[in-house]
Amino acid sequence: MTRTFGAAVVGLLAVAVAQAHFVYLVPAEDGSAVKLVFSDTLDPDTNVNIEKVANTKLTVRDAAGKETPATMKKGDGFYEVAVPGAGSRVVYGVAEYGVLQKGDAKPFRLAYYPKAVLGGPADKPVGGPLKAEILTDGGAGKVRFRVLHDGKPVDGAEVSVLVPGSGKTERKAVKTDAQGYTEPFAAAGRYGVNARVTETAAGELAGKKYEETRHYATLVVDVK
């Protein structure tokens, strides 16, 4: 591969990553609510029909571990969910997007698993309906993210990290090691993380057959 061609491929991959949309749960500054967005950043994208992910089922887990189904209220390019209580809370959910097929490529099922941590990083997995999940390990200066599939670490998972910075957010693409961990990140602030886990098992959903499932986990967490 020539240097010019290689650079072109890298550039195309960067554009593809930048244009990808994911379901994120973004906490309010006071921790009283989260916004569900379908975007390539943590900001609502009003050019995308948010009703595409209207079937997302969300749950709020309070500091004592009690779980409550969440109700979503539609806004301009987002859904808002009230998060009662104080202290460390987790909001998580499942968005079944459906079966997709691009051209002659094999059909695939697409599912999103958004999660947000309020009141401090959580290091325990939610499990249950989250087929894919991202955990936080460590604090500012040494924070890592861990990707799980069915509760087990994923080696070589593709992870995209929105890294907080002074004035702007940097996006960095990394892969997990054999224990499911990314490399450490030094910055403090709000992180947005997404990871893809592909399950190569055929099935059928809503009358449509697929050959694999692409699980996309996301995490939004404030690291201090």
Give the pLDDT confidence of 113-151 residue by residue, as tens digits.
999 999 876 678 998 999 999 999 988 789 999 999 999
Q: What is the pLDDT of residues 73-123, one digit of tens each?
A: 999 999 999 999 888 999 999 999 999 999 999 999 999 999 999 987 667
Q: What is the pLDDT of residues 172-195, one digit of tens each?
A: 999 999 999 999 999 999 999 999
How distant, in Å, are the alpha carbons of 18, 95, 101, 197 from that of 171?
9, 24, 27, 19
Residue 143 near residue 117 (C-beta atoms within 8 A)? no
Band the pLDDT of 13: cuts 50, 70, 90.
very low
Mark residue 206 as left, alpha or beta (left: phi above 0; alpha: psi -120 to 50; beta: remaining). left
Q: How many structural domains comprise the chain? A: 1
Structural domain boundaries, residue 204 = 3-223
Band the pLDDT of 18: cuts 50, 70, 90.
very low
